[in-house]
Amino acid sequence: MQNGTGGRYLLFVWSTQGYTLREREGELPPVGELVEEGEQRYRVNKHAPSPLPGDRRRCAYLLPA
């Protein structure tokens, strides 16, 4: 399930210090896609509901590529 064009979604970005939650606009990247965040490349590991209570947005979980 993906957002429509112009929608908002969340990225759960892994690092050695833990996860960081970031908001983005547009299409939720598909599982397996490479995503650049800052100077680091990540792969979308899975999609899940937002971890924020009451938030209906989808969330893409990123792991280092």
Domain enclosing residue 24, as ranges: 8-64
- Interior/surface letters 11-20, b for 16+ CB within 10 angstroms, e for the rest: bbbeeeeeee
In a domain, 21, yes or no: yes
26 is written with which tokens?
A: 């547009």
pLDDT at 6: 58
Number of structural domains, the chain?
A: 1
In a domain, 53, yes or no: yes
In a domain, 43, yes or no: yes
Task: Give the whole-angstrom CA distance, residue 27 versus residue 2.
Answer: 7
In a domain, 1, yes or no: no
Q: pTM for this structure?
A: 0.83
Tens of pLDDT, residue by residue over 10-59, are 999 988 898 899 999 999 999 999 999 889 999 999 999 999 999 999 99
In a domain, 2, yes or no: no
In a domain, 51, yes or no: yes
Q: Within its chain, how far is the Cα of 38 from the centroid?
A: 14
